[in-house]
Amino acid sequence: MTIKSAFAHSFKITFATDNKLKLTAVIKNKINLSFIVLQLFALPLISQTDYWQQKADYKIDVDLNHTNHQYKGKVSIVYYNNSPDQLDAMYFHLYFNAFQPGSAMDIRSRTITDPDARVGDRISNLKKDEYGFLTIKSLKIDGKSQTFFENETILEIKLGKAITAGAKVSIELEFEGQVPIQIRRSGRNNTEGIDYSMSQWYPKMCEYDYMGWHANPYVGREFYGVWGDFEVNITLDKKYIVGATGVIQNPLEVGNGYAAEGAKVKQPSGDKLLWKFKATNVHDFVWAADPDYIHDQAQVAGGPTIHFFYQKNKDYSNTWKDAQALIVKGFEYLSKNFGSYPYAQYSVIQGGDGGMEYPMATLITGNRKLPSLVGVTIHEGAHSWYQGVLATNESLYPWMDEGFTSFATDETMSQLFKSGMSSYHQNAYNGYFDIVREGKEESLDTHADHYLTNYAYGTASYNKGEVYLAQLEYIMGPTNFRAGLLAYFNTWKFKHPTALDFIRVMEKQSGLELDWYHEYFGQTTKTIDYGIAQISGSASSTKVALVRKGLMPMPIDLEVKYKDGTYETFLIPLDIMRGEKPADGYNGKWTVLEDWKWVSPSYQLNISKPASEIESITLDPSELMADIDRKNNLISPDMSLNFFWSAE
């Protein structure tokens, strides 16, 4: 199943789910990828031994004035410096300041060759009452006022007193903000009439890890946050219904679908209503509010209660009802195959500008047909595993979130809609092949903010990230790969794994050396191209000459089909893997041949039957290898015009 979208011609995203990537037609300028730029932002491949992580427990009280779209609040944070370092400075994100003319996001979106259609030059045309802003009125650490500087979307704090390694401090902030008109991800009055989509709305601590501070200015890409517990109290006009990250704490005061059936709801008197939410072990908090939300709940067996918030609308209200059973099934499939969903709740909230994931919740646009509504919800829901719980730094490893999520989405959707199981990752391969052909690929290890084009970012993160996993299944074999995915989730949940942390889990699971795989497929744009060069033979046997034309080495599966209808499969291990996958594919029957040395451009094997008995020979019959030229992967000795064929 493929749902076409506005950007399907530029990124092949199977379910067109993250409309956050909705782009204008990609400007087809020839872009000279600067090798130097790519190298500058290539990341060191480091796995994290002696792992530690910071912790920040937030208590936020916020009061929204819906007449001027401004809000005031205070945040109390207990911050645990679990690092081995003394901290002399501290940084917070002030994302809403991006929605002002001249901001980094404004400049970036006006100067990149293929701007996001939702942003374009809209920020530069904002009037003051349409701006977003988030400003700090006071800041104390352990009761002492601090000097701070608002550098657009980053709050810089020079600490009066350093925070020593292992220390805990309490941070008190007072803030004021204005909700911008909806431009990107969050804002007021989205295109479907949702009043408030509140993501990136509060002063959010930047993460500090073994690589130091990550105080990236907000230019449009995704996020990285500190693990902690959130207690968020939202006060706003009584007419609104609120959906959010976390679990409601006062259902009998707010009602509106939160109270158990038959329970007596008593809203306090006054014009405003206080909504109390708690979320444990998350790294962000989103909420949305609209007066017209319908609020339904559905239960996943052994899993979360899923809450749905959507408007009454003749075009799609019924679709939102019909989608619920499928989404419940999708969560069951995800929990079984990718690790157990660890929270009590998940909220699917109509809002935002497409589909965007947050811990325990998503904001999606709602005017969709059933496959699209289910597709976007499954995609954003699957982010709970990779963005929500595995929480990789999305500036450095966006593909470990988007790519892995797309992988899980396509498999889950193919289950739900019973589509062709053999090719459910094919769109991802096609998207990757397209950008390779166009010469616009940038490596997976490029910092998300620093790709030259949205096209290169999107194709790397979504398509190549998905291929990265599908191809790894080919390398490791399905049994070890599937066990490895679960081991990865269970080893690194509620932490921040890196690319090598993932690869190390897969190495331990398979007993194979796999670092070369990331070094080529993650850190470079080198490509795979193997081919069958020649067949020659005698009356009793056949010689097959194979070539490696691409720069990236791979282990090779080769399938021979005989004229009597039988098959024989050969596996050619790659020497630097120090082993090969178990015989758990191709009905468990294959012959393991001698290693192919990675340095060697050619390889020869012998088949113990004459060419006259061979119907065809196929290199990579599963097509899971991202071979950029598959034309030379199939040969048939009987094709007399086949110039490869030469009899002895």
Footprint of Zn ion on this chain (CB under 5 A)? Answer: 18, 402
For Zn ion, the closer CB: 20 or 581: 20
Tokens 């920040």 — which residue?
56
The sign of the torsion formed by the CA atoms of 238, 240, 244, 250 equals positive
Q: How far is CA 13 from CA 131, 342, 426, 455, in A?
A: 32, 27, 10, 12
For Zn ion, the closer CB: 20 or 122: 20
Closest CB 7 distance from Zn ion, rounded Å: 13
For Zn ion, the closer CB: 90 or 376: 376
Closest CB 405 distance from Zn ion, rounded Å: 5
Closest CB 462 distance from Zn ion, rounded Å: 7
For Zn ion, the closer CB: 57 or 402: 402
**Distance in angstroms (rounded) separating the CA atoms of residues 79 and 76:** 10
Q: Which residues lie across from 168 on neighbouring strands?
A: 80
For Zn ion, the closer CB: 380 or 595: 380
Closest CB 58 distance from Zn ion, rounded Å: 25
Closest CB 382 distance from Zn ion, rounded Å: 8
Q: Are 310 and 294 in contact (CB under 8 A)?
A: yes
Q: Which residues lie across from 305 on neighbouring strands?
A: 299, 345
Report the candidate in 12, 95, 116, 8 with the shortest Cα–Cα distance to residue 403.
12
Query: What secondary structure does DSSP assign to 557-582, as a single string?
Result: EEEEEETTS-EEEEEE-BGGGSS---
Closest CB 487 distance from Zn ion, rounded Å: 23
User: Closest CB to Zn ion belongs to which residue?
Assistant: 18
Q: Are 116 and 110 in contact (CB under 8 A)?
A: no
For Zn ion, the closer CB: 309 or 399: 399
Within 221-346, residue ranges assigned H as helices are 251-254, 317-338
For Zn ion, the closer CB: 115 or 354: 354
HSE (side-chain half, CA atoms, 13 Å) at 437: 11
Q: Where are the beta strands (DSSP E) in 142-282?
A: 144-145, 147-151, 154-163, 168-178, 187-188, 196-198, 204-205, 208-209, 212-213, 228-237, 241-244, 247-248, 272-282
For Zn ion, the closer CB: 163 or 382: 382
Closest CB 454 distance from Zn ion, rounded Å: 14
For Zn ion, the closer CB: 379 or 548: 379
**Distance in angstroms (rounded) separating the CA atoms of residues 610 and 562:** 10
Closest CB 370 distance from Zn ion, rounded Å: 20
Closest CB 5 distance from Zn ion, rounded Å: 13
Strand order across the 241-244 sheet: 187-188, 196-198, 287-290, 241-244
Q: Are 630 and 533 in contact (CB under 8 A)?
A: no
Closest CB 140 distance from Zn ion, rounded Å: 38
Closest CB 388 distance from Zn ion, rounded Å: 11
Closest CB 283 distance from Zn ion, rounded Å: 16
For Zn ion, the closer CB: 18 or 207: 18
Per-residue HEC secondary structure of 73-137 comes to EEEEEEEECCCCCCEEEEEEECHHHHCCCCCHHHHHHHHCCCCECCCCCCHHHCCHHHCCEEEEE
Closest CB 399 distance from Zn ion, rounded Å: 11
**Distance in angstroms (rounded) separating the CA atoms of residues 229 and 58:** 6
Tokens 């009066």 — which residue?
160
Q: Which residues lie across from 87 on neighbouring strands?
A: 163
Q: Are 203 and 136 in contact (CB under 8 A)?
A: yes
For Zn ion, the closer CB: 18 or 434: 18
Tokens representing 255 are 């009602």
Closest CB 359 distance from Zn ion, rounded Å: 14
For Zn ion, the closer CB: 290 or 357: 357
In angstroms and rounded to an integer, the radius of gyration of the C-alpha atoms of the chain is: 27
For Zn ion, the closer CB: 14 or 415: 14
Tokens representing 330 are 């999708």
Amino acid residing at 482: R
Within 418-533, residue ranges assigned H as helices are 426-438, 454-458, 465-476, 478-492, 499-510, 515-517
Amino acid residing at 98: A
For Zn ion, the closer CB: 378 or 605: 378
Residue 566 has a CB neighbour count (10 Å cut-off) of: 10
